[in-house]
Amino acid sequence: MAVNWKDRATYFGIIALGIPFSISIGNLFLFLGGAGLLFLTLKQSRYSFKISSPNIAWLYPLSFFGMVLTSALFSGDVVRGMVQVDKHLVVALYGLIFMFCSPVGRDEYEFTLKAFTAGTFLVCGLLLLAAIIKFIGSGDSEVFFFFEFGAFLDLHPVYIAINLVISSLYLIHEYSKKPRSKEQTLLFVGVQIIFVTGLLLCASKAVLVIFAIMATVEFFLALRKKSQKLIGVLIIGILLTGAFAIPQLHKRFSEGLHFDLEEFRPVSDLSEAKVFSNEEKANISDLEIRYLLWSIGLHHWDDDRVYLFGYGIGDVQHYLDYYYMYYGLAPSWFEGYNLHNQYLQYLITYGIVGFCLFIAYLLISYRNALITRNRLHLYFLILISGIFIFECLLSRNKGLAIFIFLNTIFLSRNYIK
């Protein structure tokens, strides 16, 4: 990738290159790339900022940040609310950058995705190398899996997995554009194997299933030659084989889906609440704890009648922890847990107003992806929407950076009014 410091694509690429790395590195690259973009835009407009035409690409990030700030200021615990505002500053920065730098040109769009994929490859390679070195030193194979896998760069496995999925699908799309030499095909297969290996080591059950389906679809839609389709079958085969052959993964698939809770019903009267014993809490599966959190959160949100604006970003965790104690789930056990469902978390935090804003943004994004026939954007939205059911991706700075930046790039490239 050639670097031209007078080209906006370079600065978009700098931002994208930092996205897969740790928060500190990602924020550094955001500052450098964002400053370069704004300076270049200012210079090109003869030192007079011109706001781009209003569109959801930059209006949503700025509107959402405004909602978070308002929610924090009106929370009972303003200090905790402002801590959350600090996490969301990245959203405002992206909104400001794209407010002055939209639309994104074709070359800028392509360079950005290439830089993002390159960053993902570097991160995956570093994490694999770090895990191998740890394994040689300790002999403990657990260093290869899930939270341990991302520990070297302090990365949550779900964020690593998202980056790997999008980068892998982008490579498939790029590989199919023109005939490739044997050397290029070998390089493509090698990088894909590294990406799939990274996914097997860090991805959740839901992400692996979603990726397997989307990759299969993309292989058969994008690749025309039978030999290329066979390569796709090989890569998907490696993914599925690894998911069932690696003991740690097989165990996670079988145990995580266990659901054997006795009938549970949240209550408003503390005296009627079921209190879980330590033994019951120790044996709660991933699926069971999510069911409990969703039930408790929704019931008490309804019972407290905070329909319109929710509990507020500064107070929501205080309320959740208090209600977890109703049922013996806190302290010490699940204290500090969010609902592990982004849709429900936004509903109880920001109320119907914030929830509708969020859903409207997703629906507009889907509409744009479908109208422009941008399969990569559509894959991204399907992946994110699926993960939102089981995780609160947007509770951390890194999740916000990945979601807002990539979706804004897609929207800024081909926004349809």
pLDDT for the residue 417: 52
Split at pLDDT 50, 70, 90, the class of 7 is confident
Q: Say yes or no: 273 and 218 in one domain.
A: no
Give the C-alpha separation, 11 to 351, whole Å: 37
pLDDT at 86 over 90: yes
pLDDT per residue as tens digits for the range 93-102: 999 999 888 8
For residues 46-71, average pLDDT? 84
Is 173 a domain residue? Answer: yes
Is 56 a domain residue? Answer: no
For residue 123, which of 142, 143, 151, 90 has the smallest C-alpha distance?
Answer: 151
Average pLDDT over the chain, rounded to whole? 89
pLDDT at 283 over 90: no
Top-confidence residue, 184 or 382: 382
Give the C-alpha separation, 130 to 65, whole Å: 36
pLDDT for the residue 249: 67
Q: Say yes or no: 199 and 312 in one domain.
A: no
Query: Domain count of the chain?
Result: 2
Is 280 a domain residue? Answer: yes
| Domain end point (choices 222, 256, 290) | 256
pLDDT at 35 over 60: yes
Q: Say yes or no: 173 and 233 in one domain.
A: yes
Q: What's the predicted TM-score (pTM) here?
A: 0.92
pLDDT for the residue 212: 86
Is 71 a domain residue? Answer: no
For residues 38-56, average pLDDT? 74
Helix (H, G, I), strand (E, B) or coil at 123: helix
pLDDT at 27 over 90: yes
Q: Provide the terminal-to-terminal Cα distance of the chain, rounded to the nearest Å.
A: 32
Q: Say yes or no: 307 and 282 in one domain.
A: yes
Beta carbons within 8 Å of 105's beta carbon, 6+ residues apart: 8, 9
Reported as half-sphere exposure (CB side, CA atoms, 13 A), residue 289 has a value of 22
pLDDT for the residue 228: 66
For residues 109-118, average pLDDT? 96
- In this structure, the chain runs to a length of 417
Q: What are 59's two structure tokens?
A: 């209006």
Q: Say yes or no: 320 and 393 in one domain.
A: yes
Q: Report percent pLDDT > 90 for the chain.
A: 62
Q: Say yes or no: 264 and 248 in one domain.
A: no
Top-confidence residue, 47 or 165: 165
pLDDT at 2 over 60: no
| Domain end point (choices 212, 240, 256) | 256
For residues 338-362, average pLDDT? 97
| Domain end point (choices 256, 271, 306) | 256
Is 221 a domain residue? Answer: yes
Structural domain boundaries enclosing 295: 258-417
Query: Mean pLDDT lowest for which of 17-26, 203-212, 289-298?
Result: 203-212
Is 357 a domain residue? Answer: yes
> Checking phi first, is residue 352 left (phi over 0); if not, alpha (psi -120 to 50) or beta?
alpha
pLDDT for the residue 241: 72
Q: Of the segments 69-83, 135-149, 176-190, 220-234, which one has the largest average pLDDT value?
A: 69-83
Contact call for residues 407 and 380 (beta carbons, < 8 A): yes
Split at pLDDT 50, 70, 90, the class of 376 is very high
Using alpha carbons only, what angle is made at residue 389 by residues 206 and 373, rounded to the nearest 5 degrees?
80
Q: Say yes or no: 247 and 149 in one domain.
A: yes
pLDDT at 381 over 90: yes
For residues 289-298, average pLDDT? 95
pLDDT at 244 over 70: no
Is 55 a domain residue? Answer: no
pLDDT for the residue 121: 97
Q: Say yes or no: 248 and 279 in one domain.
A: no
pLDDT at 254 over 70: no
pLDDT for the residue 26: 95
Q: Say yes or no: 277 and 150 in one domain.
A: no
Q: Say yes or no: 216 and 301 in one domain.
A: no
Top-confidence residue, 412 or 314: 314
pLDDT for the residue 47: 58
pLDDT for the residue 100: 84
Give the C-alpha separation, 282 to 142, whole Å: 21
Q: Say yes or no: 393 and 274 in one domain.
A: yes
Q: Say yes or no: 371 and 237 in one domain.
A: no
Is 53 a domain residue? Answer: no
For residues 374-384, average pLDDT? 96
pLDDT for the residue 103: 83
pLDDT for the residue 178: 78
